[in-house]
Amino acid sequence: MIKIAPSILSADFAHLADEIRDIDQAGADYVHIDAMDGHFVPNLTIGPMIVKAIRPLTELTLDVHLMLSNPDLYIANFAEAGADIISVHVEACPHLHRTIQLIKEKGVKAGVVLNPATPVSSVLPILHEVDLVLQMSVNPGFGGQTFISSTLRNIKELADYRRTHYLNYEIEVDGGVNASTAVECVEAGATVLVAGSAVFGEKDRTQAIESIRPTLRK
């Protein structure tokens, strides 16, 4: 089954608790939480305090995507706040292996993230250590952007590597995912689809989630 991870970046922050309960009842698998620092990406969003506030509202997996220049400084805070998965950008981690170990030592699943222009070769040495690889299909920082289809090549490469090396990491794709782009992502090998505006921009979240969840699987 393909997992759907609504990104709360597109939620109504004045009613965040209602938005979380709504996607929970609508069949979401993860709550995707984008933490941005105004330095690694040109936007400021969510910190550990918000993750802590969300934690008692749902038993869904809290999938935290750190778009921070120095993620090592904040991993403990996000883990203690209740994150289930913490993902860090390869472009932001000069000591990626150490950062991934730091996440795992906190008892949290570890993910590595690639920007659209980053080659898969940059994460090959860490793929046997991670639970998830997040392929950005837009340049990170904002919701509502157009899907960059050249990133499908990376998804295919990650899926091929997973198969040929008998690994189990999830392949998550984030940015411009909707009912039509979701099909190509899953055909390429993605197993988790992040969707912000395609879920929170719709009134009926059950229908929105089901229209994004393709039935086919590679």
Ligand X SMILES: O=C(CO)[C@H](O)[C@H](O)COP(=O)(O)O
In the bound state with ligand X, the residue whose beta carbon lies nearer, of 11 and 75, is 11
The residues assigned a catalytic role are 34, 174
Verify binding: residue 189, ligand X, rule CB under 6 A.
no
Q: How far is the CB of 154 from ligand X (least distance, A)?
A: 16
- What character string, x for contact with ligand X (CB under 6 A) and - otherwise, covers 50-89? ---------------x------------------------
Secondary structure, 3-state, the chain? CCEEEEEHHHCCHHHHHHHHHHHHHCCCCEEEEEEEECCCCCCECCCHHHHHHHHHHCCCEEEEEEECCCHHHCHHHHHHHCCCEEEEEHHHCCCHHHHHHHHHHCCCEEEEEECCCCCHHHCHHHCCCCCEEEEECCCCCCCCCCCCCCHHHHHHHHHHHHHHCCCCCEEEEECCCCCCHHHHHHHHCCCEEEECHHHHCCCCHHHHHHHHCCCCCC
Question: Contacting ligand X (CB under 6 A), which of 198, 208, 209, 212?
Answer: 198
Q: How far is the CB of 29 from ligand X (least distance, A)?
A: 15
Verify binding: residue 6, ligand X, rule CB under 6 A.
no
Window 149 to 188, contacts with ligand X (CB under 6 A): 174-177
47 appears as a binding residue in the annotation? no
Verify binding: residue 133, ligand X, rule CB under 6 A.
no
In the bound state with ligand X, the residue whose beta carbon lies nearer, of 83 and 198, is 198
97 appears as a binding residue in the annotation? no
Binding site for ligand X (CB under 6 A): 7, 9-10, 32, 34, 65, 138, 140-145, 174-177, 194-198
